[in-house]
């Protein structure tokens, strides 16, 4: 779907569906809705009366009309509070969802928000996100007959700022949708090598440089924790490094590295998961997908800051060579680790990748995304990610970006008193603590491998993959984390 700016009057814009936000009690009263209602012979106010639509937030009303170019008008209640960024995002998501089966839709950008460019950018992001549907494996009648090809963003005045905003919103929206596709892809097709190839081909197409390590190369690096997880699978593991180095790096900016957990399937290994917990485990590469999405967005936006993205991709399976509870492996960083539960595989993969990146890239900020623990969902529910950081400025900056992007993160403590739970009798450490505070001990384990880096760990086990739509996020893969990361990176370059 392409989003374009239109300065046509709402009555004249050529689209199958016209979407209009309405403030409480304003339908037929403000200039815009008055004109439009008149052009459709009062159909909007008539329908609103019949259906008790008053423009409260959460209300919407679809009306078939004559007299204007569009055949259908969708009224969406905006409430009467001052418009917020999230109103634009959600209005756009709803518009695209409602217009899914129309070839063209038009969204009238509500006025009354100071930063028009921001509003246009969010609306574009929302239009693309709302239009998302995973159709790769549908056939015949299950395939949608039509998909929306164009979405017009209807504005009163066009200027360079808005054009740029629509381009930027498109850059983020497309990257989020790409990540969603990766997460939704079935694990028999999206193997570790397929994930690496997807990152390579899409990355290179957008101007990133991409390097991929195969199993042999990982052995050379001594990534024995990562390789331990991969042992039970007949699929080879991969590590991927995507680099965004802009032509002009803004002077004085930081170097950032992202790391993503890329378990293309997590059966639990020998400590096998029960079927109910295993069914969604294709989503266990959502951290990697977010990392790829962030890197793609950096390139598309041509951010003037150096950014690195690493993913550790493997399966966790039960093959004859599978790693066992009781095994001891020497990490890339040098510490020996006693395996306790083979289902706690993510921290092993991340530990080796994090220590590699901390040493080889030495970023100013090191940030990982991972669907790491069920415990984090127990603590925070399905929609909020856990944020663990050893640097307050980084955590605060990230929280600000997240708030603006409508993604929910909650800071969790790196409680050093829990570190004792990782003591082993026979090795430098165990990789799993007691049952309580499971997301914290997982984070404390990772912390052992980041050296002196300013580091943040984002446990996205809940919001990365949903069993029902929530706010701007669809069911299934959500692309959670990308919008916040981009906003944070932009805040660093001012």
User: What is the total residue count of the chain?
Assistant: 494
375 binds, among Mn ion, ligand BES, Zn ion, none (CB under 5 to 8 A by kind): ligand BES
Q: Do the beta carbons of residue 233 and residue 317 sit within 8 Å?
A: yes
Q: In terms of CB distance, is 266 or 407 closer to Zn ion? A: 266
CB of 316 to Mn ion, least distance (A): 6
459 contributes a contact to Zn ion by CB under 5 A: no
Using the rule CB under 5 A, is 37 a contact of Mn ion?
Answer: no
Q: Residue 330 burial by CB count (10 A; 0-12/13-18/19+): exposed, middle or buried?
A: middle
Separation CA 103–CA 283 (nearest Å):
31
Encoded tokens for 196: 């690496």
Q: Could you say whether residue 333 binds Mn ion (CB under 5 A)? A: no
Applying CB under 5 A, the span of 13-21, 327-335, 337-345, 463-471 interacting with Mn ion comes to: 337-345
- Least separation in angstroms between CB 412 and ligand BES: 14
DSSP 28-60: TTSHHHHHHHHHTTTHHHHHHHHHT----TT-E
Please report whether residue 343 would count as binding Mn ion according to CB under 5 A.
Answer: yes
Q: Is 125 in the site for Mn ion (CB under 5 A)?
A: no
Among 6-14, 110-118, 276-284, 460-468, which window interacts with Zn ion (CB under 5 A)? 276-284
* Least gap, CB of 101 to Zn ion (angstroms): 37
Among the listed residues 28, 262, 346, 474, the single contact to Zn ion using CB under 5 A: 346
d(CA 347, CA 164): 40
- Residue 125 or 338 having the CB closest to Mn ion: 338
Report in angstroms the alpha-carbon separations of 472 from 3, 127, 341: 18, 10, 36
Q: Residue 256 pairs with which residues in a beta bridge? A: 307, 365
Taking the complex as a whole, the smallest distance from the CB of residue 480 to Zn ion amounts, in Å, to 16
Decide: is 284 part of the binding site for Zn ion (CB under 5 A).
yes
341 binds, among ligand BES, Mn ion, Zn ion, none (CB under 5 to 8 A by kind): ligand BES
- Of 199 and 466, CB closest to ligand BES: 466
273 is catalytic: yes
Cβ closest to ligand BES, residue 28 vs residue 287 = 287
Closest CB to ligand BES among residues 174, 266: 266
420 class by beta-carbon count within 10 Å (0-12 exposed, 13-18 middle, 19+ buried): exposed
The radius of gyration of the chain's CA atoms, rounded to the nearest angstrom, is: 24
Helix (H) or strand (E) holding 420: none
Extract the runs of DSSP E, i.e. beta strands, from 373-420.
Answer: 384-389, 408-411
Catalytic one of 89, 347, 447, 487 = 347
The H-or-E segment that residue 22 falls in is strand 17-23
Q: Which residues pair with 2 in a beta bridge?
A: 150
Instruction: State yes or no: residue 315 binds Mn ion (CB under 5 A).
Output: no
Name the residue nearer to Mn ion (CB basis): 111 or 280. Answer: 280
| Token output for 420 | 């004792």
Residues 6+ apart with CB under 8 A from 439: 372, 373, 375, 376, 379, 386, 412, 459
Encoding tokens for residue 312? 């550790």
Instruction: Report 221-250 residues binding Mn ion (CB under 5 A).
Output: none
Residues lying near ligand BES in the complex (CB under 6 A): 266, 284, 341, 343-346, 371-375, 432, 438, 461
Residues linked to residue 152 through DSSP beta bridges, in sequence order: 4, 106
266 near Zn ion, rule: CB under 5 A: yes
Residue with CB nearest Zn ion?
Answer: 266
Q: Pick one of 266, 352, 407, 459: the residue that binds Mn ion (CB under 5 A).
A: 266
367 binds, among ligand BES, Mn ion, Zn ion, none (CB under 5 to 8 A by kind): none
What does the alpha-carbon distance between residue 443 and residue 367 come to, in Å, rounded to a whole number?
12
| Of 118, 167, 254, 273, catalytic | 273
The CB-of-285 to ligand BES minimum distance in angstroms stands at 10
Nearer to Zn ion, 168 or 284 (CB): 284
Distance of CA 147 to the CA centre of its chain: 23
Catalytic residues, by residue number, are: 273, 347
């Amino acid at each position: 779907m392409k989003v374009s700016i239109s300065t046509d009057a709402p009555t004249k814009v050529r689209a199958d569906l016209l979407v209009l936000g309405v403030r409480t009690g304003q339908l037929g009263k403000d200039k815009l809705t008055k004109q439009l209602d008149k052009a459709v012979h009062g159909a909007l106010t008539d329908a609103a009366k019949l259906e008790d639509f008053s423009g409260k937030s959460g209300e919407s009303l679809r009306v078939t009309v004559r007299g204007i170019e569009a055949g259908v008008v969708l009224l969406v209640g905006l409430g009467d509070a001052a418009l917020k960024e999230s109103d634009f995002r959600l209005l756009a998501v709803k518009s695209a969802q409602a217009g899914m089966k129309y070839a063209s839709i038009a969204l009238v950008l509500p006025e009354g928000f100071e930063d028009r460019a921001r509003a246009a950018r969010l609306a574009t992001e929302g239009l693309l996100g709302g239009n998302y549907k995973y159709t790769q494996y549908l056939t015949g009648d299950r395939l949608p007959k039509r998909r929306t090809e164009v979405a017009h963003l209807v504005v009163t005045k066009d200027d360079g700022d808005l054009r740029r905003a629509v381009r930027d919103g498109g850059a983020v929206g497309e990257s989020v949708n790409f990540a969603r596709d990766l997460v939704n892809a079935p694990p028999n097709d999206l193997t570790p090598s397929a994930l690496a190839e997807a990152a390579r081909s899409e990355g290179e197409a957008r101007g990133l440089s991409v390097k991929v390590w195969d199993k042999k190369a990982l052995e050379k690096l001594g990534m024995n924790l990562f390789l331990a997880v991969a042992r039970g699978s007949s699929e080879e593991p991969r590590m991927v490094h995507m680099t965004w180095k802009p032509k002009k790096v803004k002077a004085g900016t930081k170097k950032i590295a992202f790391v993503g957990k890329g378990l293309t399937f997590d059966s639990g290994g020998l400590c096998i998961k029960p079927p109910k917990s295993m069914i969604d485990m294709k989503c266990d590469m959502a951290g990697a997908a977010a990392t790829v999405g962030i890197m793609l967005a950096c390139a598309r936006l041509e951010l003037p800051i150096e950014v690195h993205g690493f993913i550790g991709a493997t399966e966790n399976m039960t093959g004859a060579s599978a790693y066992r509870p009781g095994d001891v492996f020497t990490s890339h960083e040098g510490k020996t680790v006693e395996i306790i539960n083979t289902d706690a595989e993510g921290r092993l993969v991340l530990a080796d990748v994090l220590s590699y990146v901390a040493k080889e890239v030495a970023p100013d900020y090191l940030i990982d995304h991972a669907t790491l623990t069920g415990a984090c969902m127990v603590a925070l529910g399905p929609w909020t990610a856990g944020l663990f950081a050893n640097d307050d400025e980084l955590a605060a900056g990230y929280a600000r970006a997240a708030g603006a992007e409508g993604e929910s993160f909650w800071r969790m403590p790196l409680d050093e008193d829990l570190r004792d739970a990782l003591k082993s009798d026979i090795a430098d450490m165990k990789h799993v603590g007691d049952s309580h505070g499971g997301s914290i001990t997982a984070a404390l384990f990772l912390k052992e491998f980041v050296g002196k880096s300013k580091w943040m760990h984002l446990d996205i086990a809940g919001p990365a993959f949903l069993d029902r739509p929530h706010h701007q996020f669809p069911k299934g893969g959500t692309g959670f984390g990308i919008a916040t990361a981009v906003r944070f990176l932009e805040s660093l370059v001012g």
